[in-house]
Structure 1
């Protein structure tokens, strides 16, 4: 049975092609061909520096001039020239019942330009022994965490790591060969406690994957950004837009920030509230005076859920986790902007989109509105019932 899809995707042919074009290639330099459809990602020295969706024929040179900023290319070149000072880093991966995806992720680690000191795989109560066998075959340290929840697993990974820095990725991610090196180069100032990276789609083979990438994706653009105490204070009246910082699928930390700020809150994340454990932790870092940096030259690829039913459940969990995190951030900091977001901004945002849906029908930006609203409500009740629970 064919899955229902939004009206604005009915004329799109799947899979949507993802095409990588080097700016130094003759195809881009001469504009000798036209691009007709799909996602086009431009490369400079092997690193993505700009992208665009194309739905009609467009000259390659003209497209590159439109979407690639000179300062982005220059930044990628500068990062390549920076000497690497921070080598003491572990790669941490938390997983549950996905040995095939884990094997694919682990296979991208030996190609890293900066080899990690250790790889730690935390198995969050998988049913069989496939996860252990895959981890051990890759030479990783295998840790079993039987308490269900991503953040029990993440905290177990932090405790198991022996290095000054720790870098998290997910089992459904593949890493660019310079991912770890460029994350570590981001720690060039002592106040930087976290560095995140650019996460691109691994494929766009189904409507569900395209919807996720367009409206919920992990990419945060091609410009480096620092989120510091000035950013934190600027949003004092309102909830800090922490999703701008990056994605939990690509993040590294100084190990000592966990000693100062605590570990991941086990009330959040997959297996608990469902999401926003990473953004809540970034908010906590900023509250304690640290800086979070988004570094777009630290590149990885995420393979989104392929089916609409799975995406609907994921979005429900995302909104459940988002609202739970707002309450936790209020609990931790007393910032009323978190309550304002939950009680005023978010309901108004949903109401406007509901009105648009009544007027224009279900499109990809509001197709899962019911899941968003129900997830938001459930998130509030979920966290209030765990208000006094120990966070880690």
Structure 2
């Protein structure tokens, strides 16, 4: 089944075009042209401010009226006009055996409107010497971490950095020129300990990439949102959905946060349980009274996996890490909402998906059902076997 194109995507023509349109251009007006299927992203002063995916043909002006909110444009302008008060920031990248993707990511850093004080690349036990050569050619600092696991690498990056703020991105990401500047501008209150940014798809060239973007993507919309004590308290009975905060591919922290609540839990993420080291850390920050902020003007592009086989593996890792993180969060906080999600919410969710699967409805939403369930079981087993393992 994983080799099939889901029934709800058979009419798509690949690659799916991604069009960037200035919302004030002549094309977005009373006589706006009709455009074909694809993803349309509207921009204002170079910053994305709204998007819409269309399957047929639609008038561009009508699409802009529906997708772009005046308050979103005003927020983007306010951020652009705000002074930069936080400049003491390191840019940190963790990588393993992806030299080409890393080179593409590093190439986007010199264009940053706010140059980082330092760029540190942590090589998480890559084979060969290509990663080192690429890092040294870019002028970044190379750090080797031989313990395999993304959170071992993240923690090595935190220890190596020397600045007040630490910004993380991934090796399969390209950064908007104002990404770092706008992340730093969002730290405008002392209680904001973490800021995440908008992550758009770098391409939608295959069914696997479209499935990921549709059901698993990193985009969190175009409105700034704060996740603080009220969010954590109100959602505690059913576990705070920290995964709504953003994506680990675009996040920044005050260094003080790591001093206060510890480092990333090495039982999570790639090389361990599979994923969710970032959302567990956000959950921990919320539990200790901090605030996480989603800032949509801090824009980057992620290049999703192209092959269905690779996406299936990624989804297993995502669900494995998700359940593992819930158990770690219960261990750390005693919040029974984490167990409620594992024992009640997720089984109910998968029973509904299984019903569709039995009816042979191979849609993009359930085509990886087996991988999701196996991932959940693996995550629970992984953490329970390491229940007393030190977190870092």
TM-score by length of 1: 0.99
| Counterparts of residues 30-49 of structure 1 (less than 5 Å) | 30-49=30-49
Q: Deviation at 1:67?
A: 1.0
Within a 5 Å distance, the mapping from 1:1-392 to structure 2 comes to 3-359=3-359, 361-392=361-392
Q: Distance in 1 between matches of 2:36 and 2:127?
A: 45
Q: Which moved more, 1:6-15 or 1:315-324?
A: 6-15
| Superposed displacement of residue 57, structure 1 | 1.3
* C-alpha separation in 1, matches of 2:112 and 2:280: 29
SS at match of 1:32: coil
* C-alpha separation in 1, matches of 2:301 and 2:118: 21
Shift of 1:31: 3.5
Gapped runs of 5+ residues in structure 1? none
> What is the SS of the residue equivalent to 1:27?
coil
Where 2:236 maps in the other structure, the secondary structure is: coil
Structure 1 residues 348 and 101: alpha-carbon distance in aligned structure 2, compared to 1, 3 A threshold: same
> Could you report, residue by residue, the CA deviation over 1:185-244 in whole angstroms, capped at 9, with x for unpaired residues?
000000000000000000000000000000000000000000000101001211111111
1-side partners of 2:52 and 2:232: how far apart?
Answer: 31
Give me the whole-angstrom Cα distance separating, in 2, the residues matched to 1:97 and 1:377: 28
Whether the aligned pair in 2 keeps the contact of 1:35 and 1:54 (CA below 8 Å) is no
SS at match of 1:237: helix
Check the 8 A contact 1:237/1:337 in 2, yes or no: yes
User: RMSD in angstroms over aligned alpha carbons?
Assistant: 0.9
* Cα separation, 2, equivalents of 1:31 and 1:235: 46
Q: How far apart are 1:29 and its partner, in Å? A: 2.5
Question: Deviation at 1:360?
Answer: 5.3
Question: Which of 21-30 and 175-184 deviates more?
Answer: 21-30
Structure 2 residue runs without a partner (length 5+): none
User: Secondary structure of the equivalent of 2:240?
Assistant: coil
Q: Which moved more, 1:376-385 or 1:352-361?
A: 352-361
CA distance in 1 between counterparts of 2:149 and 2:81 reads 40
Q: CA deviation at 1:361?
A: 1.1
SS at match of 2:238: coil
State the distance in 2 between where 1:51 and 1:206 align. 20
Instruction: Provide the rounded CA distance (Å) in 1 between the counterparts of 2:158 and 2:301.
Output: 23
Q: Provide the secondary structure at the position in 1 that maps to 2:196.
A: strand
User: In structure 2, the residue corresponding to 1:51 is in which secondary structure?
Assistant: strand
CA contact (8 A) 1:95 1:124 kept: yes
Q: How big is each residue's C-alpha offset from its partner over 1:250-293, in whole Å with a ceiling of 9 and x where there is no partner?
A: 00000110010000000001110110000000000001111000
Whole-Å separation in 2 of the counterparts to 1:339 and 1:3:
34
Q: Post-superposition shift, 1:36?
A: 1.1
Q: Distance in 2 between matches of 1:148 and 1:30?
A: 56
Q: Report Cα offsets for 1:43-89 as digits up to 9, x if no partner.
A: 01101111011111111110000111111011001101100100000
Partner SS state of residue 43, structure 1? strand
- CA drift of 1:11 comes to 1.4
Aligned residues: 391
Cα separation, 1, equivalents of 2:260 and 2:29: 51
Alignment partners' CA distance in 2, 1:304 and 1:3 = 17
- TM-score by length of structure 2 reads 0.99
Paired residues of 1:50 and 1:222 also in contact (CA < 8 A): yes
Displacement after TM superposition at 1:3 (Å): 3.6
Q: Secondary structure at the match of 1:199?
A: strand
- Report the secondary structure of 1:26's partner residue: coil
